Structure 1
Amino acid sequence: MEVTHPLRIWVVSDGRAGIENQALGLAEAIQRLTAAEITTKRIRWRPAFDRLPSALKLPAMLDPASDVPFPAEHEAWPDLWIATGRATLPLSLAVRRRSGGKTFVVQTQDPRLSPARFDMVVAPAHDGLSGDTVFEIVGSPHRITPQRIADAAPAFAAEIDPLPHPRVAVLIGGKSKAFDLTEAHAADLADRIAGAITAANGSLMLTFSRRTPEAAKAAMTARLSALSGLIWDSEGPNPFFAFLNAADHILVTEDSANMAAEAASTGKPVHILPMGALKPAGKFARLHADLEAHGATRPFDGTLEDWNYPPLAETDRAAKAVLEAMRTR
């Protein structure tokens, strides 16, 4: 598949930031390797059709507010379609069929369909997916690069620059199918975090996820607000990238594969905070084993130990694999 013009990449998702950033991060990594133009498409299905199997969904069932998922009759097909999430599956299959091979279709995450139905599936290794079109990476694709987090720093310099070292970024997840964060457990975590930062004469940079239960958030805020530092309350610009840039240590709850992989891409010590398990750890245990084997993470033991490792660069590795697969198709 030879492309002589700047690569036309369409990034497709349901618009949720955590989902979209996987496809967009992979597209941006490809753009760093070759000339490319990225177009973002956000789609969702009408509620009446959302739970239908992929094989039964038709473009006419999309919500009218969705972006148009296919090129108009006079427009060229994209060279590369990168999609993420269950909502995009029917469209990815349709693009591969309708474009007649003009569009190389990449799906991130486990599509829960045969990987052979896509040109490539960039899947987390901990999902255990296999097949000729599967390219496994540790964690998921993301948008974190040294340049991106450095570029985010000036907007928060007035708040972050005065903070004493070591600066500790604390990334808190929340309830999911596999994990829970009860008020009591959140309070215990907060006490352990406060103890480590106080012992090191450091400072706190804390951010919660949308999944953090309100009771857990309140318990942690009450116990940590006396420390030197910042607790983002979800109001105003998100300091997540700036926190990663400024951090000397990163603490991440074990429930988020995305946050753990993003933190490991910085090359900074990543301490994994335990959560309350709702079922056997399974794929999360495999992910954390991979991150530990890389040297990126260690279980949080109440101290802020330093160590070094090569920053995890799995998104860049996947980008190279996509371009190679496009060249050899």
Structure 2
Amino acid sequence: MTRTPSAAPPPALPPSSWILSESYAGLMAQARGLAEAASLAPESRILTPRAPWRFVTARLWPAPLAAIGDALAGPLPEIVIGCGGAGAVIGAALRRRYGLRAVQIQHPRMDLRRFDVILAAIHDDLTGPNVIVTRTALHGVTPARLAEAAAIWRPRLAHLPRPLVAVLVGGSNGRFRLGALEAEALGIRLAALAADGAGLAVTPSRRTSSAAQRALALALAGPRDAGTAYLWDGSGENPYFGLLALADVIIATEDSVSMMSEAAATAAPLLVARLPGHSRRIRDFSATLIASGRAREFTGRLEVWPTIPINDTEAAADELRRRLGY
């Protein structure tokens, strides 16, 4: 008797999942980067607490799920991925009440046993049986994404001189200050690089204040008029990944671990632009990058040296899948 080969079983669908985070670009980028690398396709649930809880730190909410309300409507997923303080509180509450598997990105600032898996960068100083430690923040910078962005942005930035310096500008965040005066000072140093023959491609972030953007634009007026500098004005397509992909050197302001981590995932040398203020965690992170040779402090001079990309997101996602068993 001839046996008919049985059809191969259909591939298993990934577990259903949510991202739980407040509406901060850096937090969302970390969660989406992890989810993508872990073959998840989560819904994003933006956590916007009701009054009066929006004025109280999330760890003090007496009834966290009631404090959020409509953001959690609909059928519950199998996995929740929290990022930041509010994400941690809501993820732990969902796990406790409904038995969902809870993944947390960044230090949760609460009992680690309330989560199935925690992913923390080395500067979080966090260890434990359910903790995965990475050298940088998680993100969505991959070789494929960089190649795609390079193809789009190469002709648009082809007029700029080489070496091309990509500048990632953050903003004030309660720990560091980047106002008009700081933006002007940074712009003056950048204009000096252009005067020495470098091309500049500068992108502000959502946190860059309008005053800082105006000061930066004024300081770069000369190079822009000469065609040696490009400054994104916030309209049209965001050039961020294109700048990462095409840069010969990247300068990132030190207020953002996410920006420094994404820059470190490329092959370009990273220069860290210091700002007034202080954060032990962020300073420890940038100091580790500098001590490893992956970054240097930006002193106003253009420096180029051989570098190796640092990107732990894929390895962390593989370990996450192993621990969650899918």
Q: Conserved in 2, the CA contact under 8 Å of 1:41 and 1:68?
A: no
Query: Where does residue 68 of structure 2 map in the other structure?
Result: 62
Query: Where does residue 44 of structure 1 map in the other structure?
Result: 48
Of 5, 8, 14, the match for 2:22: 14
Query: Where does residue 173 of structure 2 map in the other structure?
Result: 176
Q: Conserved in 2, the CA contact under 8 Å of 1:244 and 1:266?
A: yes
Matches of 1:91 and 1:109 in 2, distance apart? 14
Q: Conserved in 2, the CA contact under 8 Å of 1:116 and 1:131?
A: no
Matches of 2:43 and 2:201 in 1, distance apart? 33
Q: Conserved in 1, the CA contact under 8 Å of 2:136 and 2:311?
A: no
Query: Counterpart of 1:38 in structure 2: which amino acid?
Result: P
Matches of 1:55 and 1:46 in 2, distance apart? 11
Query: Where does residue 74 of structure 1 map in the other structure?
Result: none
Query: Counterpart of 2:293 in structure 1: which amino acid?
Result: G
Query: Where does residue 3 of structure 2 map in the other structure?
Result: none
Q: How does 1:1-329 map to 2 (within 5 A)?
A: 5-8=12-15, 9-31=17-39, 36-50=40-54, 51=56, 53=59, 56-64=62-70, 66-68=71-73, 70-71=75-76, 77-78=77-78, 80-100=79-99, 103-199=100-196, 201-227=197-223, 228-277=228-277, 279=278, 281-327=279-325
Q: What's the offset of the Cα at 1:215?
A: 3.3
Query: Counterpart of 1:326 in structure 2: which amino acid?
Result: L
Q: Conserved in 2, the CA contact under 8 Å of 1:6 and 1:37?
A: no
Matches of 1:59 and 1:104 in 2, distance apart? 16
Please give the per-residue CA displacement for 1:239-290, whole angstroms capped at 9, x wherever unaligned: 111111111110011111111011000021111111112x4x4112210122
Query: Counterpart of 2:92 in structure 1: which amino acid?
Result: L
Matches of 2:61 and 2:216 in 1, distance apart? 45
Q: What's the offset of the Cα at 1:12?
A: 2.4
Matches of 1:12 and 1:285 in 2, distance apart? 27
With the length of structure 2 as denominator, give the TM-score of the two structures: 0.85
Q: Conserved in 1, the CA contact under 8 Å of 2:34 and 2:140?
A: yes
Q: Are the structure 2 counterparts of residues 11 and 69 from structure 1 closer, same or farther at C-alpha, using a change threshold of 3 Å? A: farther
Q: Conserved in 2, the CA contact under 8 Å of 1:273 and 1:299?
A: yes
Q: What's the offset of the Cα at 1:124?
A: 2.0
Matches of 2:51 and 2:288 in 1, distance apart? 38
Q: Are the structure 2 counterparts of residues 16 and 212 from structure 1 closer, same or farther at C-alpha, using a change threshold of 3 Å? A: closer
Fraction of identical pairs, as percent: 33
Query: Where does residue 6 of structure 2 map in the other structure?
Result: none
Query: Where does residue 5 of structure 2 map in the other structure?
Result: none
Structure 2 SS opposite 1:180: coil
Matches of 1:58 and 1:141 in 2, distance apart? 26
Structure 1 SS opposite 2:96: helix
Matches of 2:43 and 2:13 in 1, distance apart? 13
Matches of 1:134 and 1:320 in 2, distance apart? 14
Unaligned segments of structure 2, at least 5 residues: 1-10
With the length of structure 1 as denominator, give the TM-score of the two structures: 0.85
Structure 1 SS opposite 2:156: helix
Query: Counterpart of 2:112 in structure 1: which amino acid?
Result: P
Q: What's the offset of the Cα at 1:70?
A: 4.8
Q: Conserved in 2, the CA contact under 8 Å of 1:54 and 1:89?
A: no
Q: Work out the number of aligned pairs and report it.
A: 309
Two-structure CA RMSD over aligned residues (Å): 2.4
Q: Which runs of 4+ in 1 moved over 6 A?
A: none
Structure 1 SS opposite 2:20: strand
Q: Conserved in 2, the CA contact under 8 Å of 1:82 and 1:107?
A: yes
Matches of 1:138 and 1:96 in 2, distance apart? 27
Q: Are the structure 2 counterparts of residues 44 and 213 from structure 1 closer, same or farther at C-alpha, using a change threshold of 3 Å? A: closer
